Amino acid sequence: MTRLLLLLLPALLASIAHAEPYVQRADVRTFIQDMHERHGFDADALDTLFRQTKPIAAVIKAIMPPKDPAVRSWQAYRGRFVEPRRITAGRRFMHAYAAELAAAEARFGVPAEIIAAVIGVETIYGKQLGRFGTFAALTTLAFDYPPRAELFRKELEELLLLAREENRSPLSYTGSYAGALGLPQFLPSSRRRFAIDFDQNGHIDLAASAGDAIGSVGNFLAEHGWERDAPIAVTVTVTGDGVRTLLDEGIVPRLTPMQMEVANAGIQKLGDGDTAIPDRPAALIDLVTPNAATEYRLGYRNFYVITRYNRSSFYAAAVMDLAATLRISK
């Protein structure tokens, strides 16, 4: 799939360069009519928005998978996020917003360092919010990136609904190439469903209010099933021949470590601080680095919850590891 997408890139970019204006395209006209019929949007106003919007080639390039398969390296991935600049910024963030983080932990049960780590991984605490016009970015992906067009048309719909709710122009939002917004990089659908006015100033601002970002991340994780005072994952070694069977089960925690032993995976815990809980369901997670030993963890419910934020085991493990560093530094 990755190779196929990369082969399609020149064709996608060429089609963007020669495409007719969005407002004249049949698929865009259908979208406009649908938004009018289902949500009562003024079709002429939507016409005006799409008339002002052009596809962004940089968005298509950015969303493509990396050419180098070595990028899918856990050690390289971890090194991007658990590194001195982010750790230093994370310590400053936790100090500056200690009260907000403590309040979010008390309300949602999500540890302060996990909330801080998510924001750190997403935007380095606001240093990388993205500069793409959100409407143009989502329009580009919704109508000029077929592999994920359905997802991004839904997010474009959500952006229009969000803008109407906030009495803002849809063209006023900026964020990542994929349409993510603010310090926690919420897509418009998550922004509408999970963002909260945590600083209680009467409106939600994920870009300028660290308090709102902190509370919204806590709310997102809690709504997805975060378990208060429960473990996230434990590092283990595996020595049996049943490892592949357990990995094929996926990342949803279904089996207890004791049940995993039936699969002859030879699971053993590592480190004095790690505790494998015999009766708590987990999933076996493999963190692969080319030309190096694979790292394995037992991921519990809270590990899975972090993957609802970004559906990647690498992502959840990086959040976990950055949080551990920030926790130690408190």
Task: Kindly report the length of the chain.
Answer: 330
Sheet holding 295-299, edge to edge: 267-269, 233-238, 295-299, 283-287
Q: Which among 100, 105, 113, 122 is annotated as catalytic? A: 122
- What is the SS3 string spanning 162-206? HHHHCCCCHHHCEECCCCCECCCCECHHHHHHHCCCCCCCCCCCC
DSSP designation for 202: S
Q: Parallel, antiparallel, or unpaired: how do β-strands 233-238 and 174-175 relate?
A: unpaired
Q: Is 80 left (phi over 0), alpha (psi -120 to 50) or beta?
A: alpha
Question: Residue 247 is encoded by which pair of tokens?
Answer: 């990995």
Residue among 302, 199, 286, 290 at smallest CA distance from 250: 286
Strands (E), the chain: 132-133, 174-175, 233-238, 267-269, 283-287, 295-299
Facing residues of 40 across strands? none
Token digits of residue 152: 């991004």
Q: Catalytic annotation on 122?
A: yes
Residues labelled as active-site residues: 122
